[in-house]
Structure 1
Amino acid sequence: MSRAERRAKITPGGRARGARLRDERERRGWGRRELARLLLDTIDERQKPSHVTVASHIKEWEEGGGISAMYRAAYATVFGIPEDELFVPAQALHGEPACDDELEALELTRRVAATDVGDETLTALEMAVDDLASAYPRTPPAELLARTRRHLGYVSRLMDARMTLAERRRLVIVGGWLSLLAATCDIDLGRRPAAAARLRTAAQLAEHADHPEILAWTLETQAWQTLIDGDYRKAITLSRGAQEIAPRSSSAFIQATAQEGRAWARLGAGPETRDALARVERLVAPLSMPDRPEHHYRYDPAKSDAYTATTLSWLGDPAAEPYARGVLARLEAPSSGPARPRRAASARLDLALALLAADQPDEAAHTALQAVTSGRLVPSNYWRAAEVIGAVEARSVRGVADLRDAYHELCSPAEHDPGEA
């Protein structure tokens, strides 16, 4: 049967099923080639087709084509969703999943309080913001973005409800934090127009609620995106703007200072970089470990160490190598709290760059390969991997072909090719 004939046989139910499969893949931030590799890992060697074949099939399945029992089981394993739930009848596949436990719980809280919007509902929403921000280091950005968007939709619906001025301010602040987090996920995924729109919304809500910390975070987040884009002078300007707005004791003030240091490092400005690092060190010194150190908007000593390692490696400082090794060890085997695999993947890129500066290109290539194949890098970090690959290739290091192949396989080379770094 030709491809045209197969497409002609696609039913509305098949299209809905394909849309669900595509949405689940995109929520996890996976390309079709990465999903093909994961599906193949679950299939018996005797039945295993080629990687190219499966990648081609994925496109057909997402358009609504029929899918065999073997691949249904593979999908269920890879997505971590029971097969009878993933391949449900077509009428259940439109829009969001029929049951969203998080939002059901919030709505139940609101109804039990017998008010349109009361303290119980707002407290539950504020706790949800903390949960989502704490999930950021360990959750694929597409998945976290989907959850955050659903909460934003719920907040938007509540805006029309009756409430006091104090309650409305709390709800606006929740909307500001959620918009900021959604923008951060958008940047991780390379969705620049969406990120810019959400940052504008977060800033408007922050101004409406008179909340300088959220407003400062919007500028710091813009500085981060601008740094990724290579406009280091603008990143410095935005970072300093965030510092002017942020409360002096806030995490936003510390993060903006650290971001300024990273931008100076990209410019090779040693004195300015070290001045920023010294300011961060003074700000972090009196801090105790927060109760949720994984919270994206709460600064902690481990985050400071990771930023220092990045900054020193970009500056080419000889201290970068031992510092980056120490940071990586602490992230993978912390003395308290959970391991932080996403930060560890970024720390490996820092270490790889430091190893290049220390004239150890073979270990740099191996370390970069570990980062690329970890499954923890997000698109906003691909350029850093590309930078290391370009430097390793210039040294004609053994194994660089494997590193480049892994990068092309896993890191969307169409948008971030090492040759352009």
Structure 2
Amino acid sequence: MTPKTDWTGRRIEVEVGAVAHGGHCVARHDNRVLFVRHALPGEVVVAEVIEDKGGSFCRADAVEVLRPSADRVDPPCPVAVPGGCGGCDFQHATPAAQRSLKASVVQEQLKRLAGLEWDVEVEALAESPLGWRTRVRLAVDRDGRAGLRGQRSHRVIPIDDCPITVPGALPKVLEQQWTPGAEVQVTHDGDGSVHVTELQRDAEPRLAMGTGTAVEHAAGRDWRVDANGFWQVHPAAADTLVSVVTEFADTVAGATVWDLYGGVGLFGAALAERVGPTGSVTVVETSTEAVESGRRALADLPQVKFVRGKVERVLGSSEMDGQWPDAVVLDPPRKGAGRAVVEAVCDKSPRRVVHVACDPAALARDVADFAANGYRLAALRAFDAFPMTHHIECVALFTD
């Protein structure tokens, strides 16, 4: 039996190739692939293997740069380095280069998984790639100190602050002692209030700062939402996405619209304004807290109906019988909508489907499923809603 290859700890000089989905670039050595973080395409680096399970690939960090890219810069954060925090993937690249890398990833995923050639431009949401993160989940080490996790690790990296987080949100939290092994959710809301909750397994959340109810402002409304629940992390993201979603949906007065995975009804509110009192918007959401928040926030819009439950179940239930939506909006979790949901939506023959996606691979799989059901990708916009990281937000329009 051939012994399993294990290069863990080995340092290898490689020339770095294209960026890949996940915040790393591809290099090759001895007929194996190395996924290298802290590198840029075209660079020559010394890569140290940090994870090797013996297959066709392993994971590595660029620990020395022998031939740097013209796009390389010094990371603004001292722990955005090999062996440091796993949160930021591209602090060593200029903001323009980061957006270019993300565009390449979306294009590659569309080509590989959907067989589609598509030019992608990633649009910036703000001039600075720093100070945007309004929600942070910290981990607590065995000494009770809060920090951020290392890449693909449970190891807690101590920090004094985080440069991509809204200034002032973290220092007081990081000075405190917390329960070892817990997590600490920090939310800086639209009014500038900071809400901090300690989360422990098999224990009730403990509110340590603020009220636990975040006030957010988007779509011309004030929202009161669970500080630990979902809301767009970048301050400019919510209104930007609302604008694009409503433009792509292109609804008119009296139309019927579905807002699937609708949360508190952010998109539903804007769509309801478009369809007016003679139209209808059905928001489907699995979170009880989000549905309750949405019903309170949109009580002045009787054309909006909330249905609580998993989208897969609700679409096959009597609650949606008799509805033939003119437009459908989907904002699924990172794994995407999936074939069953795509087929259920397409069976209703909507004129337009708007898909909000935070994962390029999941989006590409959904694009392929829509194509198999007769819906083509008609438009795509991509936004750098998570600067310094490999994450990206896309809005896709499908028409039949």
TM-score by length of 1: 0.28
Higher relative contact order (CA 8 A, sep 6+): 2
Higher normalized strand content (fraction of residues): 2
Higher normalized helix content (fraction of residues): 1
TM-score by length of 2: 0.29
